[in-house]
Amino acid sequence: MSERNIKTLTSETFMARVLAGRGPIAVEFMSYGCGDCRVIEPYLQSVAAELGSAETVFRLNIGTARDLAHRYAIHRTPTLVMFLDGAEVGRSAGPAPTLSSVALALTAPFSHPSFAHVA
């Protein structure tokens, strides 16, 4: 999977990059053996590129980060979990692999006025 627009996290980097992160952050909980994860990848890349610096998009392999998969109750992959200033604000388990459904899953939790963020 490409690192072009989506950076890979580990259990060791999750806290610093996501929980201590500022602003909107989306994490794809995925696994390399997951067919749906491969199908959704180009859509995630496209949306991440479109968002640019407005939102950070990461991926986390649940096969090597079982502790975090358990902590966040990940029961299927891909699951997108959105964080704002370190707090979970939304999630989407296995969004349909279309550009519009992935874009909505990644941005909807941040569009509510109570989540307004000033950089």
User: Which pLDDT belongs to residue 119?
Assistant: 37
The answer to whether 68 and 11 have CB atoms below 8 angstroms apart is: yes
Say what the pLDDT of residue 115 is.
43
> Which residues in the chain show pLDDT less than 70?
1-3, 54, 112-119
Domains of the chain: 7-115 (3.40.30.10)
Task: Identify the residue whose tokens are 């996501």.
Answer: 18
CA distance 107 to 73: 21
pLDDT number for residue 97: 79
Q: From CA 58, how far away is CA 10, in angstroms rounded?
A: 10
